[in-house]
Structure 1
Amino acid sequence: MSRLVDAHCHLDFSVFAADRAGVFERAREAGVESFLVPGTTRARWPDVVAMGAREDVAVCLGLHPCFMDAHDDLGDIAALSEWLDRHPEVVAIGECGLDARFADSWHAQWSLLEAQLRLARARRLPLVLHCVHANDVLARRLRQLAPPAGGLIHGFAGSPEQAMAFYRLGFVLGLGGATTYPRAQRLRRTVAALPDDGYVLETDSPDMPLAGHQGERNEPARVAEVCRIVAELREQTESRVAADSTATACRLFALD
């Protein structure tokens, strides 16, 4: 089977500190050879960039909508621009986006996202977008702004129509643990209908556990299980899904 890429995993988080080497080794044994690690807060950027020293890790920097209390809007955006100047190895801006579960910070989320969208547009970098219960409004804004390098809608759980709206805007869909749950019928229909170049595989480690692993720490080795389920849903071989998803990740993030 072709090599696999975990296109979204938070391996900088402290929950991996005690056995990070083992996490990488288990991933390699499962055929996962490359990893995309996004930044979530300014305080985490140094650890994220340090992980990028590994040949098998590419990194992104951004400001996550679920950590609004940790952000200093104007100061962090200025700092993000400076970090991008100093670290040309950064392959995307993210993780950023919208999360409608946090209604009290909705307007602040929009303000922070807008600044990151414009930064991505100016620098022609792809975006890594977190989007929960906001697919339609986010797609509308992306259509207006037209980020030139597209990006990834991480942890996608929407309809086939929403998926194609993002795809037509140059965005691919991140498929992870949610696809492994039989009750996720709408998402599974979406997975089956996606173009071959319309998705990547991811874990969101340590979050988004797969079916049968609820309550456990997620890790990149389980991309292989995501690949198996996606292959079943698309009625394709695992090798085909691995090859297609890896090629899409390499194209989007300019990986070797």
Structure 2
Amino acid sequence: MAWFDTHCHLDFAPFNLDLAAHLAEFKHHNIQQCLVPAVGPENWQTLVDLSSLNMLKIALGYHPCFLNKAALQGKPELLLGELEALGLLVQQHRELISAWGECGLDGRFPETMVHQEFAFNWQIKAAQQQALPLLIHSVRLHDRVAQLLKNAHFEQGGIIHGFSGSYVQASRFVDLGFKIGVGGTITWPRSEKTRKALKRLPLDALVLETDAPDMPLFEMQQQHNTPLNLIVIFEQLAALRSESPQALEQALWDNSLQVLSLEG
């Protein structure tokens, strides 16, 4: 069976130091596809260049935690130049791009929330215009993220990356057409609420991810996270679900292709 990591930053260290070797190792462990999202202007072109590699799919977007520091000192409109440059790049390379992201809101930084919402709302509209699904970073603001998506009548769906939250919150995203990104969060003992949610959600709402090299798994905090940990995350998910492991594996692969409009 093939695995799909729907969120990993393979242009970051340590992967970028010898990406070919890492990709060969992933392939050896049957990881067939990886979706690599952008975080900001500094890696948009890098990802466009990486899109030529067979097993990599890319997403271009502006991460809420990477917004231009100078722009954050003034009006949100100061971000407009970079956002428009992003929109132009996506338009120029539309056939290479599988999703828009990562983008969204992060409640750990309330002092930049006006700027975060400006950038997120702009990207929601741009993704809709380009008929691209969204790869969403949602931290401590699931209700607000869902409200903005609903207000924009966003119809392309996408993935709520690294979901951590309740069944009600997850279901709201599923009702809006989104998949729930299942990552290392479920390996942590403190994540009982998230595990309960993942146990109850429809099978066709789930995809796997690692957020490598970030989002360490429980008792693996001293190591770089890697797409190789998809198998560990899968085992944790399989222990929660009622489906057979084989049915779960197949569904996760199919769901990943479907949300990104990819062929098997």
Structure 1 length as normaliser, TM-score? Answer: 0.95
- Conserved? CA contact 2:68–2:79, under 8 Å: no
- Conserved? CA contact 1:7–1:36, under 8 Å: yes
Equivalent position to 1:120, from 110, 127, 134 = 127
Unmatched 5+ stretches in structure 2: 72-77
Matched, 1:101 2:108: yes
The equivalent residue for 1:207 is 214
Once residues 258 and 183 of structure 2 are traced to their aligned partners in structure 1, the CA distance between those partners, rounded to angstroms, is 19
The equivalent residue for 1:235 is 242
The equivalent residue for 1:66 is 65
Once residues 240 and 60 of structure 1 are traced to their aligned partners in structure 2, the CA distance between those partners, rounded to angstroms, is 28
The equivalent residue for 1:18 is 17
The equivalent residue for 2:85 is 79
CA RMSD after TM alignment? 1.4
Q: CA deviation at 1:29?
A: 2.6
Q: CA deviation at 1:76?
A: 1.3
Once residues 31 and 246 of structure 2 are traced to their aligned partners in structure 1, the CA distance between those partners, rounded to angstroms, is 13
Which secondary structure state, in structure 2, belongs to the residue aligned with residue 128 of structure 1?
A: strand
How many aligned positions are there?
255
The equivalent residue for 2:47 is 48
Once residues 45 and 213 of structure 2 are traced to their aligned partners in structure 1, the CA distance between those partners, rounded to angstroms, is 19
Unmatched 5+ stretches in structure 1: none
- Which amino acid in the other structure matches residue 220 of structure 1? P
Structure 2 length as normaliser, TM-score? Answer: 0.93
Q: CA deviation at 1:224?
A: 1.2
- Conserved? CA contact 2:105–2:141, under 8 Å: yes
Q: CA deviation at 1:179?
A: 0.9
Once residues 118 and 95 of structure 1 are traced to their aligned partners in structure 2, the CA distance between those partners, rounded to angstroms, is 14
Which secondary structure state, in structure 1, belongs to the residue aligned with residue 14 of structure 2?
A: helix
- Conserved? CA contact 2:121–2:148, under 8 Å: no
Equivalent position to 1:137, from 144, 157, 177 = 144
Once residues 218 and 163 of structure 2 are traced to their aligned partners in structure 1, the CA distance between those partners, rounded to angstroms, is 16
The equivalent residue for 2:74 is none
Once residues 25 and 178 of structure 1 are traced to their aligned partners in structure 2, the CA distance between those partners, rounded to angstroms, is 26
Which secondary structure state, in structure 1, belongs to the residue aligned with residue 17 of structure 2?
A: coil
Among all aligned residue pairs of Structure 1 and Structure 2, give the percentage whose two residues are the same amino acid.
34
Deviations 1:178-233 (A, max 9, x none): 01123311011011011011011000000011122112111111111111111111
Which secondary structure state, in structure 2, belongs to the residue aligned with residue 91 of structure 1?
A: strand
The equivalent residue for 1:35 is 34
Once residues 213 and 221 of structure 2 are traced to their aligned partners in structure 1, the CA distance between those partners, rounded to angstroms, is 12
Once residues 4 and 108 of structure 2 are traced to their aligned partners in structure 1, the CA distance between those partners, rounded to angstroms, is 29
Q: CA deviation at 1:22?
A: 3.0
Q: CA deviation at 1:14?
A: 3.4
Once residues 30 and 228 of structure 1 are traced to their aligned partners in structure 2, the CA distance between those partners, rounded to angstroms, is 15
Which secondary structure state, in structure 2, belongs to the residue aligned with residue 14 of structure 1?
A: coil
Deviations 1:95-149 (A, max 9, x none): 0000010111111000010100110112221000000000011111111212121
Deviations 1:26-84 (A, max 9, x none): 32232211000001111101111111111111101000001123576111111111111
Larger deviation, residues 194-203 vs 61-70: 61-70
- Conserved? CA contact 1:30–1:224, under 8 Å: no
The equivalent residue for 1:183 is 190
The equivalent residue for 2:75 is none
The equivalent residue for 1:245 is 252
Once residues 246 and 30 of structure 2 are traced to their aligned partners in structure 1, the CA distance between those partners, rounded to angstroms, is 11
Which secondary structure state, in structure 2, belongs to the residue aligned with residue 8 of structure 1?
A: coil
Q: How does 1:219-234 map to 2 (within 5 A)?
A: 219-234=226-241
